[in-house]
Amino acid sequence: MQRLNVVGGAGNNDGSVSPYSIAAIALLDRKFKSLGVDVQDLNLLAPIAKDGGRVAAGADIIRAGDKPRHSTLLLEGVACLYKRLADGTRQIYAFKYPGDFCDLLPEPDDAVAVQAVSECSLAAFDHNEIEQVIARSNTLRLALWRSTMLDTFIFRERIASPPAAMPRVAHLLCEQLARREAIGMKSTVLPFTQIDLADAAGLSVVHVNRTVQALRKLNVLSSANSAIEVVDKKQLASIGRFDGHYLNMPRLMSHWTLSVVH
């Protein structure tokens, strides 16, 4: 059911500014700026970033029931937060992109885990250490709070997305496209299997397949290969009734500077 082949993962802690440390800071900087927060103390995180290793597609990054003592930041690849339901079904709650924390907090629900959708590389931050940094930085705290809020908005939209298969899948794909664009991923080829889409949309694989084919016939998805490649973003957004402005909270909530000292 679950291949558990971690590709790499030795932590290092020699205090030098390592490549993954630089990558982590850059990713977080962009993400927080997109939330309308310029975190000045971000460099405080550099010395405490550790190598989180690489994880092969399909493997768990955080296993169900894990209570890790570090937070995991996704550097490369795509992951998904999912819950294994009682009947064995996998319900995907959310996809994670570079710059997202896989587990800022330990997951309270023992059936919830994080899995690599494509091969992932990671950075790790010890809980005690990151907590001290957070305690010292008003802006970092605000940024993390806002990112929690953004998650809430994304979930809300997912609830509202129509029960019909076509708009539902379209909406899901639009969200992914929008989030990828926000972090500079220009490719419209999405690394999901139809099984992934089914588990995320809450539809059967068979029906997702038919829906994908219908979208291909409409020239919304590419018929060239068997991958999920979006060719007509406009129409996809229209089918999914996707607004997307809910992802742009930069200046929308910027007048709300809770906990930032002026």
Partner DNA sequence: CGTGCTGTTGAGGACGATCAATGACGGTGG
Partner DNA sequence: CCACCGTCATTGATCGTCCTCAACAGCACG
By the criterion CB under 8 A, which residues form the site for its own copies? Answer: 83, 85-86, 91, 93, 105-106, 108-109, 127, 131, 134-135, 141, 144-145, 148-149, 151-153, 155-156, 158-160, 163, 202, 241, 243, 245-246, 249, 252-253, 256-261
Residues 211, 192, 186, 98, CA torsion sign: positive
* Residue 194 makes contact with DNA by CB under 7 A: yes
* Residue 193 makes contact with DNA by CB under 7 A: yes
* Total number of residues shown for the chain: 262
| CB-based contact 109:71 (threshold 8 Å) | no
* Residue 17 makes contact with DNA by CB under 7 A: no
- The H-or-E segment that residue 197 falls in is helix 194-201
Question: Helix, strand or coil for residue 166?
Answer: helix
| CB-based contact 4:62 (threshold 8 Å) | no
| CB-based contact 165:211 (threshold 8 Å) | yes
* Min separation Cβ 68 and its own copies, Å: 12
68 binds, among its own copies, DNA, none (CB under 5 to 8 A by kind): none
93 binds, among DNA, its own copies, none (CB under 5 to 8 A by kind): its own copies
> Which tokens belong to 1?
């059911």
* Residue 212 makes contact with DNA by CB under 7 A: yes
Name the nearest CA neighbour of 101 among 141, 137, 70: 70
226 binds, among its own copies, DNA, none (CB under 5 to 8 A by kind): DNA
210 binds, among DNA, its own copies, none (CB under 5 to 8 A by kind): DNA
Q: What pairs with residue 125 in β-bridges?
A: 49, 71
For the beta carbon of residue 172, count every other beta carbon within 10 angstroms. 24
* Residue 2 makes contact with DNA by CB under 7 A: no
Under DSSP, the state recorded for 6 is B
| Part of the chain binding DNA (CB under 7 A), chosen from 140-148, 162-170, 177-185, 238-246 | 162-170
Please name the residues in contact with 94: beta carbons below 8 A apart, sequence gap of 6 or more. Answer: 80, 81, 151, 154, 155
Among residues 26, 46, 56, 58, the one that binds DNA under rule CB under 7 A: 58
Q: Considering beta carbons, is residue 48 or 215 the nearer one to DNA?
A: 215
Among residues 83, 84, 127, 207, the one that binds DNA under rule CB under 7 A: 207
